[in-house]
Chains A and B, each alone.
Chain A
Amino acid sequence: MRGQGRKESLSDSRDLDGSYDQLTGHPPGPTKKALKQRFLQLLPCCGPQALPSVSENSVEDDFELSTVCHRPEGLEQLQEQTKFTRKELQVLYRGFKNECPSGIVSEENFKQIYSQFFPQGDSSTYATFLFNAFDTNHDGSVNFEDFVAGLSVILRGTIDDRLNWAFNLYDLNKDGCITKEEMLDIMKSIYDMMGKYTYPALREEAPREHVESFFQKMDRNKDGVVTIEEFIESCQKDENIMRSMQLFDNVI
């Protein structure tokens, strides 16, 4: 017959086995609260005023969260704090607000936006690291000020600032030094973004080898960790890295 809206639930027999309620799609069986409520309603003594607190709290919470709207500080303050011009800030905010009408980006949202640029691979891990780097006050969300502050450093900062920011990105636990494990995580996330179907195919041990060569280059005193001074010093000596840092001058 036509009109099969819920194709999954009608075409199999999960309902009959008691694991799926066909109409609502949730596991069947009323919750304890609702049962108690219904029972009490059946009794003639209790009027409809019984148990108003049994109402669904979670729905209201969700509703509140979605109506929370974060507004950034004024344009002038942002202009002072960052190195963007007024027009650039306007353009950035328009794009930001389009994707995140509530004014803040959650980690999920961030990952989803970032993954649209890398359809062939899995960019979620790298996006998490980025999110943690942008979220300077570690409150679980990135608002427009954080966003613009990060972009200002990367796109308009000095080379030292940029290297600082990159170090901050690599340092996952923010303790001031990069260990081999942290670097391995970062490397794996970058290789994940490439996806599985590259040619020639990326080998399993490629990230590890890459980490080894990185540490060989960066770790001056061979103590197994890379501190910020070692990092900046080594990067300044490397021609390629210096040149690549200049790529960010013309992004906006």
Chain B
Amino acid sequence: MALSTPYTYIQCPCSDQSSLGNDGQSHDQDAIDDDNERTFDPRAPRSNYSLYPLEYLLYCEDCQQIRCPRCVSEEIVTYYCPNCLFEVPSSNLRSEGNRCTRSCYQCPVCTGPVQVGEIATDSESNLLTAENAPSTQHGPYALFCQYCNWSSSEIGLEFDRPSGIPSQLAKLKNGGEPRITARDVKERRKENPDMPPVPDELVDTELQFSSLKSFYQSQLSGASSAIGGLPLGEGMGFSSPAALSRIMSLYTTGRGQQGKMQQGPPDVMREALTTDDGLKLAQLDEAAAVKKLLSGGWEETVSKEQRLAQLEPPRFQDQLRPTQCVLRTKRSKRCTVCRHIISKPENKVASTRFKIRLVAKSYIPRITIQPLRPTAGVVPVGARPEHPQEAPLKPLQPYQYILKFRNPLFENIKVTLATPNNTPGRFSSKVTLLCPQFEVDANTDMWDDALRDDGREKKRLGEETSGQAEAGKIYERGRNWVSIILEVIPPFLRVENLPSKTPSGEEMYRGPLREDEDILEIPMFVRMEWEAEAHHDMGMGSAAGRDKEVSEKRELAYWCVLGVGRISHG
């Protein structure tokens, strides 16, 4: 389940069903008991979705619970462009869409950032040897991709000015010809009323969309503007004479005609007939495209990812256009239960810090697992950060691991652990924890510790920390950590040795080894208790009114999965 063993994953209680079952009346008392008794099975397909490494988990202080990425709700703080880091106010999003409008384009070939540059011609190399030539060349500009060296000259797009690229791009088609927009057509029609509609091949999707939209709008409004039907989408003008007559008609003709506004779409509507109305016939004659394909070959065509990123699905490389960068968001996370904000980044785009950040790492102990006698050698400094790969575990041999618990809280915690004797799954290994209950010291500063050293030395005398693996004793202790030994005996990975029925009475699956079935995973139940200084509200009872900080016992319990390693086959 993980890339490199050993690993520890923590289960978020949001997927735990037993908390839901306790709310109402339960008909089946056994079911509830069963839930509590049942050990967590890391191999169940369901648990795959609730296990997270410690770095992914957050912690809600109000509920005193772990929160995983699945059980937090996100709210957007700001929108920004990843290229120019410009913050876009959310009001602009509705009007201008979710892309950057400030000349931030992506190369259509490799999605890398493109930069505006001048097109240098060969003759310029002579100019460069001249002294001090800070030339403000007015040469044509083009977009250059930083990564794959694509340039917009390849699709024939060159610009006159280096700024204001979006407007210039909108006016040009690939190949440098100006694009026909709806406004152009209208103007031409005004000058020349007998002009035939634009031929189908020249109509691109933008033009088609705008003419179709205006056509349907006029259809829906009945095209009988004499009665005062306003085109859809135009606001209610209060001062135009048409609006005045409409409002007056509402008052005067109440019973008679039910008001003209409720007319709705007329019964008979026609469809688009020409390209003026937005009809574009399918271009079935593809001889030109086929010829181009034959001459260009595979490299001339567009790949799937490139095509998906384009507005108009192209077929050939010279139909690609640079796309605008999509805006990204900064989000704040909130606990779904108590609506407390768990994580909130700063509003400024350029800073990566957080105003509020309640992560699980500062509330629950960090568990790491290491073999007691490592078989892998030390990684030389030059080859880091490679992880030392352990040899696979041999079956039926006991292996010992050091489990280290690091306490992030500022109080001592008492940790109780529990694991099932046999790991769940088809091939179960025997697991023994040598010391299931211990206490870990608080995460104090090093200076505090040193200053108070005299008093503390004697404290732990009752518990001898052995440097060896002995049952009932911890292995080693440090300032804020404790390590214990865990012993594991992996089984034989042979299907033939499996019993015929599982403990729950079903037929045992006798197929070959499934993927990842040879990874040794140990589910472990961790329970920590500590005394916290609870800050009560002012509205508490008078008994606690005097001292606002009363120590109260707090506890937190969760399941976690320790991935130990792979068992060797054969």
Q: Do they bind each other?
A: no
Q: Which residues of A come within 8 Å of B, CB atoms?
A: none
